[in-house]
Amino acid sequence: MALIARTPEPPYVAVIFTSIRATAGDEPYDEAGYAATAQRMEELAHEQPGYLGIESARNPGGLGITVSYWATERDAVAWKAVAEHLVAQRLGRERWYSQYRTRVASVARDYGA
């Protein structure tokens, strides 16, 4: 089961990716390909320099939010440019998402329990 990312003391970088899936009635839809790619991207992110963690949630059939955490802005930019990730981004734009937004943010403070 997905857990809350164990990020270090701030500052660090958060990339907030919010998306709405294309609906099952749309063509091409490719649910299996989507799930496999999403999992592969999490594994691939984990191998990148500066990776700190990832959190992901999706309402059934609706909006999804994935937040990946990085040591520096440079690390976040480098992850966006990884070749296999570029292919996944293209498929996301062309096939899987009807709408999305990516926000790059600097985390100044955090707290929790």
Instruction: State which of residues 27, 62, 81, 83 lies at the interface with its own copies (CB under 8 A).
Output: 62
Q: Does 86 contact its own copies by CB under 8 A?
A: no
Rounded Cα distance between 11 and 28, Å, is: 41
Task: Count CB neighbours of 27 within 10 A.
Answer: 8
Residue length, the chain? Answer: 113
Q: Does 23 contact its own copies by CB under 8 A?
A: no
Q: Does 57 contact its own copies by CB under 8 A?
A: yes
Closest among 106, 90, 101, 88 to 18, alpha carbons compared: 101
Q: Does 103 contact its own copies by CB under 8 A?
A: yes
Could you list the residues that contact its own copies (CB under 8 A)? 1-5, 7, 10, 14, 16, 18-20, 55-60, 62-65, 67, 73, 93, 97, 99-113
